[in-house]
């Protein structure tokens, strides 16, 4: 069965990968949902040393190995992505939107490939909505993984407790669904 590809932004990857390893390229659920990161993730972490310091596990061989399976994108699609990125980036610059260049490139990739993006970045969510790009938050992804039997509720709690411990919480507006999704109060501090 064909994969249903889903692209994680950097923040969602960093929030999930440590506790849900191996996170990427392992299909789950009826539709073979398969998670990928954008090829620019390594560059983003290199350019932002605070990410590599805060998430020191990111450069461990087992995580690097898990990220080696990129999305396969044809040359024609790459051209379409670049064109779409240029258009979207112009809108970001002129419209006062907040996504970074890499975030905008992730959205352009998702738009051209017709795939979902997982992000907790409110600027990305707003831009995705303008272009009709399907999105999930990290909590929604955890819910889909739980519903598919891919992870247990203990793993959900562990991931969210890690966010609290790291001080890396999604925006308050994106946290309210925890009790609705999982039928329990969130971990303390969430």
Residue ranges of the domains in the chain? 4-138, 140-182
pLDDT score, position 97: 74
Q: Confirm if 108 and 92 have CB atoms less than 8 A apart.
A: no
Share of the chain above pLDDT 90, in %: 73
**What's this model's pTM, rounded to 2 decimal places?**
0.94
Cβ neighbours of residue 51 closer than 8 Å, sequence gap 6 or more: 10, 14, 44, 45, 58
Radius of gyration of the chain (CA): 16
- pLDDT digits 0-9 by tens, 153-184: 999 999 999 999 989 999 988 888 999 999 99
Would you identify the CATH topology of the domain 4-138? Rossmann fold (3.40.50)
**Angle subtended at Cα 81 by Cα 77 and Cα 86, rounded to the nearest 5 degrees:** 150
Q: Confirm if 24 and 141 have CB atoms less than 8 A apart.
A: no
pLDDT score, position 59: 85
Q: Confirm if 110 and 7 have CB atoms less than 8 A apart.
A: yes
Distance of CA 172 to the CA centre of its chain: 18
Q: Does the pLDDT value for residue 188 go beyond 90?
A: yes
Average pLDDT, rounded, for the chain: 92
- pLDDT digits 0-9 by tens, 46-64: 777 788 788 888 888 999 8
Please identify which residue in the block is written with the tokens 């779409």: 84
Please identify which residue in the block is written with the tokens 């992730």: 106
pLDDT score, position 71: 87
Bridge partners of 97?
none
pLDDT score, position 43: 76
CA proximity to 25, closest of 83, 69, 84: 69
Instruction: Tell me which of 29-33, 80-84, 176-180 is least confident.
Output: 176-180
Task: Please give the Cα distance from 72 to 176 (Å, whole number).
Answer: 35
Please, which pLDDT band fits residue 12 given cuts at 50, 70 and 90? very high
Crossing angle (nearest 10°) for helices 138-147 and 153-166: 160
Please, which pLDDT band fits residue 186 given cuts at 50, 70 and 90? very high
Distance of CA 146 to the CA centre of its chain: 17
pLDDT score, position 78: 96
Q: Does the pLDDT value for residue 4 go beyond 80?
A: yes
Q: Confirm if 35 and 178 have CB atoms less than 8 A apart.
A: no
């Amino acid at each position: 069965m064909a994969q249903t590809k889903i692209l994680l932004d950097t923040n969602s990857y960093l929030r999930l990968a440590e506790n849900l390893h191996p996170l990427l390229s392992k299909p789950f659920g009826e539709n073979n949902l398969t998670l990928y990161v954008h090829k620019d993730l390594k560059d983003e972490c290199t350019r932002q040393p605070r990410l590599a310091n805060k998430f020191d596990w990111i450069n461990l061989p087992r995580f690097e190995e898990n990220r080696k399976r990129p999305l396969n994108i044809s040359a024609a699609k790459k051209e379409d992505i670049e064109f779409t990125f240029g258009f979207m980036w112009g809108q970001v610059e002129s419209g006062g939107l907040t996504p970074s260049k890499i975030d905008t490139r992730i959205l352009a990739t998702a738009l051209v490939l017709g795939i979902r993006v997982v992000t907790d970045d409110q600027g990305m969510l707003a831009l995705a909505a303008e272009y009709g790009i399907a999105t999930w938050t990290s909590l929604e992804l955890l819910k889909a993984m739980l519903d598919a039997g891919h992870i247990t509720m203990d793993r959900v709690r562990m991931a969210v407790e890690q966010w609290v411990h790291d001080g890396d919480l999604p925006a308050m507006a994106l946290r309210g669904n925890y009790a609705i999704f999982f039928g329990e109060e969130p971990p303390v501090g969430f």
